[in-house]
Amino acid sequence: DVVPVDGQEWTSDPWTVTERDGRLYGRGACDMKGFVALALAALPKALEAGVSRPLQLALSYDEEFGCVGAPAMIAEMARSLPKASAVIVGEPSRMAVVTAHKGSPAFRVHVRGHEVHSSILHTGVSAIMTGAKLIDWANRMNEANRARQPSAVAGLFDPPWTSLHVGTISGGTAENITAADCRFGFSFRIVPDETPADWIAALKAEAARLEAEMQAVHPDTGITLTPSYEVPPLRPETDGEAEALARRLTGDNATRVVSYGTEAGQFQAEGYSAVVCGPGDIAQAHQPDEYLEVSQFEAGEAFLDRLIQQLAAKDPA
């Protein structure tokens, strides 16, 4: 899947790949249809080279909104296929080997208030004003996290701390009525050496505290947290096969991490060795005139060609 192009100004058809000035333009060219095309093209090459070890190509849906299609896919792979010794997720990294990323659980928050005229607001409960308190808690957590000395792992990231974010909000019916409803999207970006469950528990505890305040005024109020998705963090592996393989193929020995999430964290959580390594620059993702440099496309092709050569050399004649 890809993000929409609604409201974006494109100089060429976003749904048709256009090559100009050494770049391949199109929605998803960078994120991440370039790698998908290369992986598909690599399979017949592997057959021609005589590779007999299983090569598994995993394509999931709804990746853009929390990688929600991947868990069922990974579970089915674990049931029906030989376990892969290494998983390479081809998100755009400019062919650098990424060994860690943040985790990102997310929730849909519904605050239920009690409507009264705002002149007697003390007898009602404003869902919006209570929601604002939960959002203020997120701001305070961000400031506290920012002020702490980062751990060695957190220090690799930008920003080097766990962040909390509210990206959408709606609610209320009129300026002079306490809001009956407030809904917003709440998400985390959690550094790999912290536990998502701890942050989720902290959010639930703050919601419960605010709910008790609401229900002291009116019993038919409350806060509901509905999970939207959870992408586990990708943690650096000790002697990980995926990292070793990707480094052999690229020659990249630098320590690299990203703050966004990928299916690599989901694979790792199910016991697979995983890294992120793919052509293109994430800065181009989701943008108007999204593009993948031809040189990056060729670097990705060379990467997979070297993988095939290595596998063919290891297979018995």
For the stretch 81-138, pLDDT in tens is: 999 999 999 999 999 999 999 999 999 999 999 999 999 999 999 999 999 999 999 9
The answer as to whether 241 is a domain residue is yes
pLDDT at 1: 76
Which helix (DSSP H) or strand (DSSP E) does residue 196 occupy? helix 196-217
pLDDT at 317: 45
For strand 87-89 and strand 18-20, is the pairing parallel, antiparallel, or unpaired? unpaired
CA 70 distance to own-chain centroid: 12
Q: Do 65 and 84 fall into the same domain?
A: yes
Q: Do 177 and 160 fall into the same domain?
A: yes
Q: Do 202 and 213 fall into the same domain?
A: yes
Q: Do 273 and 250 fall into the same domain?
A: yes
pLDDT at 316: 52
Catalytic residue among 31, 63, 243, 290: 63
131 three-state secondary structure: helix
CB 277 within 8 A of CB 90: yes
pLDDT at 280: 95
CA 309 to CA 197: how far, in whole Å? 42
Instruction: For residue 28, give its domain range.
Output: 18-100+234-314
Residue numbers of the chain with a pLDDT score lower than 50: 317
Which helix (DSSP H) or strand (DSSP E) does residue 227 occupy? strand 222-231
pLDDT at 314: 74
Closest to 262 measured CA to CA, from 34, 103, 154, 58: 103
The answer as to whether 1 is a domain residue is no
| Domains contained in the chain, number | 2
Cβ-count burial 151-188 (b if 16+ within 10 Å, e if not): eebbebbeebbbbbebeeeebbeeeebbbbbbbbebbb
Q: Do 282 and 183 fall into the same domain?
A: no
63 is catalytic: yes
Q: Do 111 and 79 fall into the same domain?
A: no
CATH at 112: 3.30.70.360
The identity of residue 129, as a single letter, is: M
pLDDT at 66: 84
The answer as to whether 306 is a domain residue is yes
In the block, which residue shows the tokens 């702490």? Answer: 148
3 three-state secondary structure: coil
Mark which of 205, 231, 257 sits at the end of a domain: 231
CA 268 to CA 250: how far, in whole Å? 21
CA 137 to CA 126: how far, in whole Å? 17
1 is catalytic: yes
